[in-house]
Every structure is written in structure tokens, then in C-alpha cells.
Structure 1
Amino acid sequence: MALKYLVKKTTFGFDKAKNEKYVARPFSIGQVDFKQLCDQVTAVGLMPRGIVKSVLDGLIDSLVTYMEMGASVSLGEFGTLRPSFGCKSQDDAKEVTADTLCRRKIIFTPGKLLKNMINDVSIVKLQLPGESSGGSNNGGGGEVIDPME
């Protein structure tokens, strides 16, 4: 398998001349919902769907518990999750309060298995039906894929 990309025309906000440029954007086939994920884990792991859902629900509840304490949580080969936030800078240490905190987020650091996957997976241009393979916009060959399939 390979990751696919599309070529998109973009104007960057930092470009004062507002020149249009062409960039590669990842092509997504959509989002896998929780039910689909449970069904796939059931098929691969040979576990009943109810057990898979219960384990994943318990995992989510446990992640919330530990991250509310301020802990980073390792999920083995999957990676690590940790709570974080940004802060508006202040001129004096006394001015740094909870009110100056902003951008609460959860940072995910992938584990070795996922890092290796993303580094090793091939990337090809998604060629839409009817698009010529020799045009100046093409950026090279690639598989012809119907994005609606």
C-alpha cells in the first residue's frame, strides 16, 4: 500500500506578493469511526466485539484519569500521550497565572512501530480519472484511483 497525495494550488498568507504555488496535500479516504475500529480489531485479534469495545472504553477512561494527574501515558508500540498547554509570555514571573495559559492540547508521540511505518511507506500521486499523465501539473506518474471507491 501507499499513501496518496493530490496537487493543490495554494496562496500562502506570509507571501506578501500573494503568488499562487502548488503543493502536495495528503489524500484521505475518510475517517474510521469507533465502530469500524472495533470491528477491525475484532477481526484481527479474534476477540468478541463487546470485549474489544470494553477494553478500548476502559483505555480511554484510564488515559483521562492519568493525564488529569499530569502523567504521560505510554501505550507501548502505539506511542505516548501527554497533556500540555501553551502560555502567553509575561514580563514578570508574578504575572504568570492560570489565566495566562492557552491552547490546551494532548501531544501524541508515536512509538517505534508507527514511526517506522510512516518512514517506510511509499507515497504516490493520486491520479484522478480523466487526468492526463503527461501534464505540467501532474508531478509524475502514479496509480489511477477512483477517490469515490
Structure 2
Amino acid sequence: MKLSLLAIAAIVALPAAAQPSTSNDQTVETIAERNTPAATLAAYRAALETRDAEAMQSLFAESSLIFENGKAEGSFDDYLAHHLGPELHAIESFTFSDPTLEVEQHGEVAIAHETYGYAISLSDGRRIERLGVATSVLVQEDSDWKILRYHSSSRTPR
């Protein structure tokens, strides 16, 4: 499968919480158990870094909508099926750098915006580096915070 640089770059223009990458003893589940909007976004980043599609799905509301680099991608399940899922197999590793995260909570709704850098190593030897930004709306469902809306974009560093 041939992947465009833009498509791969768009994949990782995803949440990067303002904390270091998870260590080997921290799983996506233990991060999400902290039960805050920021922890949900951190768990999403951890799941993306480990290419754990099932963990990613658990962090999104059923009625989620994804917008990426100017395109409406549908629900997270749609996005995973037609875009992100197939491309995860071509990614050997990626890392986030210099993340920032601001969360504003209003009862059972939270709005977050993030900035970050990232580097991706692909199975064909290519390396992609980008700067990303994301805006998220999260809702509290029962006791869990879920991502309801997610909009991300990225560009080549200057």
C-alpha cells in the first residue's frame, strides 16, 4: 500500500497531552483511569503511539466526528476503517515532542486545544516530521470522558 506523506502526517496530527510519553508500565487503560479530559487525550496519544486501535476506539463517543486537515472524516469508527486503520500498519514508530495542552471544563463538557511536534518512522525507511495542532470537545459519559469532536491539522516545520 502506497501512503502519501500528507496522509501519514494527518494521521498523527492527533492529541498530544502535555506530559511525557507513557513508560512501559503505564498502559492506555491506566492513563484513562485518571478520569479527566486531559487523561483521555493522553490515553489517545498513548494508544496512537502503540498503534492500539481498540484502545483508541474506547476513547471516542459513539456519535464522534473527526475533522482532519480540511476534510470531514465521519465518526471515529469510520475514520479508523477507511483512513487511520490501514495506515497504522506502515508506521514503525512515532514520537511526540514539545506538547502543550489547555483544557476548559464546563460541567460534563470540556474543550481542549493542543500543539505538538511529532516524528514518524515508516516501514519503507521514510521519516516524517511535522508540527500539529488539535481542538477537541469531550463529554462525560457515565464516569468516563469521551472525545466527541476532534479537529486536527499539521504542517512541515519551518
Do Structure 1 and Structure 2 share a fold, with TM-score over 0.5? no
For the pair shown, the structure with the greater C-alpha radius of gyration is: 1
Q: Given the two structures, how large is their TM-score scaled by the length of structure 2?
A: 0.23
Q: Given the two structures, how large is their TM-score scaled by the length of structure 1?
A: 0.24
Higher relative contact order (CA 8 A, sep 6+): 2
Structure richer in strand, relative to its length: 2
Structure richer in helix, relative to its length: 1
